[in-house]
A and B are shown apart, each in its own frame.
Chain A
Amino acid sequence: MALRPDEQIEVVETKAPRAPVIEPGHTFATVTDKISSIVLTRPTSNGWLVGFGFSFLLTMVLLYAISYLFIRGVGIWGVNIPVGWGFAIVNFVWWIGIGHAGTLISAILLLLRQSWRNSINRFAEAMTLFAVACAGMFPVLHLGRPWLAYWLFPYPNTMNYWPQFRSPLVWDVFAVSTYATTSLLFWFVGLIPDLATLRDRSHNRALQMIYGILAMGWRGSARHWSRYETAYLLLAGLATPLVLSVHTVVSFDFAIGIVPGWHTTIFPPYFVAGAIYSGFAMVLMLAIPIRKFYGLEDFITERHLQNSAKVMLATGLIVAYGYGIEAFMGWYGGNRSDAFLLWNRLHGPYRAVYFSLLACNIFIPQVLWIRKLRSNPAWLFVISGVILVGMWLERFVIVVVSLQRDFLNSSWGMYYPTRWDWMTYIGTIGFFLACMFLFVRILPMISIFEMRQLLPQAEVKPE
């Protein structure tokens, strides 16, 4: 039966009350002013200075660790034979996985018309960008001669040499660089109309110039909006298969090899689910303090937290299924190396890591079934932290435990990260946070024009 638009609204309202995506009472002007004032008029708070200062300090630790690496080489890390892929690859996979949630929120949820995403997509995209930047550092630093990283790309050269296109490591170069480019452009295209808003709202000549240059003369013409919307939708449609391909290709780095625990077909879907799992955990760990300190509870409501928690619960169960299948195949597959890997995970020298990962990724997050905990920001923050730790441990188990005891007993060994490993890892966390601090200070962290679109008055009423 066809319904008139007003009748449809009534049907929606008779459903169980749901937390709104945006608190009632807002207009185009209040939404614009509230978000743009965070950047334009709000004074820099002491909390921001302390937070930025601390993360900047950690960034300096990163620079120190990298400088020493350039002087001495990768020997300063704990990597050796048999574990040649230590922290560098663990951190690479962890960071790039975190980035995936940003693209999921901005692209896939856009295509699925989940309009609640409008208030968290901007900073989730920024998170993606900075996470990919952190991820990209590790394989390059791991090269041994990082200054020759451009050899990874196919370009005509006097050595008459080309990359080996049958290697998943070369696929990874293409996947990650395409992903970084796409994330940057998607984020920037989303920013253009908001940069124009900042240009028009600021009263400071220098700011008007800077935001004006970045907005490129955007004037909100209907023709421009039409092309803009088409391009934005197409970008979302392109980013969706891309984001699924990126972690798939990352999992190929492992799955194409014959090492027990790597050589398995479950890896691509299980990696993608794990990526989204950890990414949403990071989104919550950023969103909860941001909404609190900047008073954005009107825009990032309980509904957003609830939905993110549900996504985590769902992807967490997919990850649990992945662990289950890995263990089942180890037992049922009849391959002695695989069976030994399972034994080694459960009883080997790194068993504590394996059990902590099960606790962090499978058991503890089950409390999200309880509605009360799901709607409590403090609890969500803690559980998200647990999940992020758990996902890091998962990558540690995949990389290290598989490599440390492979086919030949005589080549078994242990892997111990050095302080340089830890400094590089913690340094990238600092770099990531420093970028986030700068981002919330100088750019609108919530997409203003998409928030205007969410308001009921944005609807064109039929005559």
Chain B
Amino acid sequence: MKHTGNYGMMAEFDSPTTLVAAARQTYEAGYKRIDAYSPFPIEELAEAIGFHHNSVPLVVLIGGLLGCASGYLLQWWISTVSYPINVGGRPYHSWPAFIVVTFEMTILFSVLAAVFGMLALNGLPMPYHPVFNVPRFAFATRDRFFLMIFSSDPKYRGSETKAFLESLNPRSISEVPQ
């Protein structure tokens, strides 16, 4: 069975401990297209839903290298090629004087890469998302913890999935409309 017209099914939990346990069980039961929502970061949770690879550090590294190279090359090109100024015969390529700006550019580019890279990888800004159709989901930013199985999961079967989620003892279960 493919789509039931729903985006997925969502179960609500009380505490981080129960959510992490439920997420582990769901992943082990063979559901791979799942997500969990919590009001604060929970280290164990990403791992429990099978999210291991995080490419933010790579993006930041690339940003930093780019900033470092462009900062230094800019100063080198300006001081030796485009606008050389002879100050008492001192060398045009006076690299120690270029370190500070190179450092600041490295930091600036890394920071921009970290912030905008993180947002881009997260797909933010995203003005509409089906999870917000569930009224109880407003508590995901307060004190409730949610586990979601997407309907695109090959194992997703409306009633069967619901029965499975019920076996995890959630506070409530809601279907998430598209």
Interface string of A159-178 (1 = CB under 8 A from B): 01111111010110011001
Picked from A199, A217, A239, A249, the residue with its CB within 8 Å of the CB of B100 is: A249
16 more contacts with CB within 8 A, not counting A217-B129, A219-B140, A245-B107, are: A154-B78, A178-B104, A217-B124, A222-B37, A224-B124, A225-B42, A227-B56, A227-B118, A234-B56, A234-B57, A234-B110, A238-B114, A453-B40, A457-B15, A457-B16, A458-B42
Instruction: Please tell me if the beta carbons of A162 and B83 are within 8 angstroms of each other in the complex.
Output: yes
Q: CB-nearest residue of chain A relative to B126?
A: A217
* Count: A-B pairs, CB below 8 Å: 198
In the A-B complex, the 3 residue pairs with the smallest Cβ-Cβ separation, listed nearest first, are A28-B143, A216-B125, A231-B118
User: Would A32 and B143 count as touching, CB distance under 8 A?
Assistant: yes
Contact call A197/B39, Cβ cutoff below 8 A: yes
Give the interface segment out of A181-189, A305-313, A407-415. Answer: A181-189
A-B contact pairs, 22 of them (CB 8 A): A154-B78, A160-B83, A163-B78, A166-B87, A182-B111, A188-B115, A189-B115, A200-B139, A217-B125, A222-B37, A223-B51, A224-B124, A226-B46, A228-B118, A230-B54, A234-B114, A238-B111, A242-B104, A245-B107, A453-B41, A458-B42, A459-B17
B24-49 vs A, Cβ < 8 Å mask (1 yes, 0 no) = 00000000000111111111111011
Contact A219–B132 (Cβ < 8 Å): yes
Annotate B61-82 by CB proximity to A: 1 below 8 A, 0 otherwise. Answer: 0000000000000110011001
Return the chain A residue nearest B118 by Cβ.
A231
Q: Report the interface size class on chain A.
A: 35 or more
Task: Please judge, given known A-B contacts A32-B142, A227-B122, A460-B44, whether A449 and B57 are in contact too, CB under 8 Å.
Answer: no
Decide if A181 touches B37 in the complex (CB within 8 Å): no
Within 8 Å of chain B (Cβ to Cβ): is A463?
yes
B16, A458: Cβ atoms under 8 Å?
A: yes
- CB-nearest residue of chain B to A455: B40
Contact yes or no, A222 B57, CB < 8 A: no
Per-residue CB proximity of B90-132 to A under 8 Å, as 1/0?
Answer: 0000100110110111011011101101110110111111011
Min CB gap A28→B, angstroms: 4
Known pairs A165-B79, A165-B98, A227-B56; A459 contacts B16 (CB<8 A): yes
Chain A contacts for B9, CB-based, 8 A? none
Interfacial residues, chain B to chain A (CB-CB below 8 A)? 15-17, 20-21, 23, 35-46, 48-49, 51, 54, 56-57, 60, 74-75, 78-79, 82-83, 85, 87, 94, 97-98, 100-101, 103-105, 107-108, 110-112, 114-115, 117-119, 121-122, 124-129, 131-132, 137-143
CA distance A449 to B45 in the complex (A): 16
Tell me whether chain B's interface is mostly helix, strand or loop, or mixed: helix
* CA–CA, A236 and B83, complex, Å: 37
Contact residues in A for B60 (Cβ distance below 8 Å): 231, 234, 238
A29 touches B142 (CB 8 A): yes
Q: Does A44 interact with chain B (Cβ within 8 Å)? A: no
Q: How far is the CA of A166 from the CA of B138 in the complex (A)?
A: 54
A217-B126, A219-B132, A457-B15 known; A165 and B78 CB under 8 Å? Answer: yes
Q: Is A201 an interface residue (CB 8 A)?
A: yes
The one of B21, B115, B140 that contacts A220, using a Cβ cutoff of 8 Å: B140
In the complex, whether A450 has a CB less than 8 A from a CB of chain B is yes
For residue A452, give the distance in angstroms from its CB to the closest CB of chain B.
4
Question: Contact between B143 and A29 (Cβ–Cβ < 8 Å)?
Answer: yes
Residue numbers in B under 8 Å from A227 (CB-CB): 54, 56, 118, 121-122
B35, B131, B141: residue with the most chain A Cβ atoms closer than 10 Å: B141
Most chain-B Cβ atoms within 10 A of its Cβ — which of A222, A238, A463?
A222
A229 an interface residue at 8 Å Cβ cutoff? yes
When distances are taken between beta carbons in the complex, the residues of chain B under 8 Å from A458 are 16, 40, 42
A235 contacts chain B at the CB level, 8 A cutoff? yes
A33 to B142, CA, bound (A): 8
